[in-house]
């Protein structure tokens, strides 16, 4: 079915498989608005997306969506467990400092704000993700990889009604060579009242960051960095 997709999409679908067990309910009581309710399970497997130029951008092994109660006419989306296995994302910034994203640019439309959605999620889990980063705007060019990325997010409701916990862990290393990776990990909790976060890093080679330092100052960096940091912020969602 790929040939039937519109040609002007910001990403090209190279491949993918869809497994679905869904139920759709439609009802309308007299003198009341119609209701549409979608429930079930959806799996998107072996997907690969390319840029319009044909370069790989995002691929993954499996994305699982548990749809508990999705009512688009009421702007309500309640999800069960969402699991994303082995996504691989390639990001590149050119020499002019421009980062290509498929959703870049501003969209013209109605200036009136749309009614907000009510969202709910029981759990989100990201497993064995990988991010390749190439940056031609610095000299020498930077090329780094985050791999074995894991992320767990606990029960979430939006607007927020209680604290949302999350934790993460990943490895960082250059794209070229066989250097031992640095280990990054942390945890956080977000509520309307407070944001708390903790982060740790080990064996972070300073020369991996040298392109960003040398762009501004002619200094050489050598050594391994280890440390930890903590952050606490009151009422993080309130605008100044």
More confident site: 109 or 178: 178
Average pLDDT, the chain: 91
| Greater model confidence, 41 or 106 | 41
Residue 112 has pLDDT above 80, yes or no: no
Judged against a pLDDT cut of 60, whether residue 106 lies above it is answered with: no
pLDDT one-digit tens code per residue, 14-37: 999 999 999 999 998 888 889 999
| pLDDT given at position 146 | 97
Tokens of 95: 């020499």
Pull the structure tokens for residue 15: 């491949």
Split at pLDDT 50, 70, 90, the class of 148 is very high
pLDDT at 221: 82
Cis peptide, bond prior to residue 31, ω within 30 of zero:
no
| Token pair listed for 86 | 């082995």
Please write the tens of the pLDDT for every residue from 45-67: 999 999 988 999 999 999 999 99
Cα dihedral 83, 86, 92, 97 sign: positive
CA distance 190 to 115: 24
CA distance 220 to 71: 57
Q: Is 178 exposed, middle or buried (0-12, 13-18, 19+ CB in 10 A)?
A: exposed
Q: Tokens in use for 80?
A: 């069960």
User: Which pLDDT value is given to residue 75?
Assistant: 94
pLDDT surpasses 70 at 110: no
pLDDT value at 108 more than 90: no
Mean pLDDT of 210-222: 83
Query: Which comes out higher in pLDDT, residue 235 or 114?
Result: 235
Taking the C-alpha atoms of residue 181 and residue 201, their distance in angstroms, rounded to an integer, is 11
pLDDT at residue 105, as a whole number? 53
pLDDT at residue 177, as a whole number: 73
Q: What CA–CA distance (Å, rounded) separates 240 from 238?
A: 6
What is the predicted pLDDT for the residue at 104? 64
Give the residue from 189, 186, 187 showing the smallest Cα distance to 160: 189
* DSSP strands (E only) in the chain: 12-27, 35-50, 56-71, 76-85, 88-93, 118-135, 142-153, 156-158, 164-174, 182-190, 194-205, 224-234
């Amino acid at each position: 079915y790929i040939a039937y997709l519109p040609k002007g999409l910001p990403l090209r679908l190279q491949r993918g498989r869809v497994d679905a067990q869904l139920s759709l309910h439609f009802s309308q009581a007299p003198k009341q608005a119609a209701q549409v309710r979608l429930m079930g399970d959806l799996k998107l497997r072996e997907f690969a997306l390319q840029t319009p130029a044909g370069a790989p951008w995002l691929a993954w092994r499996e994305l699982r969506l548990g749809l508990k109660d999705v009512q688009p006419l009421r702007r309500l989306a309640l999800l069960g467990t969402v699991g994303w296995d082995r996504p691989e994302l390639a990001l590149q910034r050119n020499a002019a400092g421009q980062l290509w994203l498929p959703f870049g640019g501003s969209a013209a439309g109605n200036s009136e704000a749309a009614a907000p959605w009510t969202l709910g999620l029981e759990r989100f889990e990201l497993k064995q993700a990988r991010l390749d980063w190439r940056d031609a705007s610095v000299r020498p060019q930077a090329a780094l990889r985050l791999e074995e990325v894991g992320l767990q997010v606990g029960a979430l409701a939006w607007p927020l009604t209680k604290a949302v916990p999350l934790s993460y862990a990943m490895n960082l290393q250059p794209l070229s060579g066989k250097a031992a990776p640095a280990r990054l990990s942390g945890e956080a909790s977000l509520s309307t009242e407070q944001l708390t976060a903790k982060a740790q890093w080990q064996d972070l080679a300073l020369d991996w960051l040298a392109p960003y330092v040398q762009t501004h100052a002619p200094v050489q960096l050598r050594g391994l960095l280890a440390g930890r940091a903590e952050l606490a912020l009151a009422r993080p969602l309130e605008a100044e």
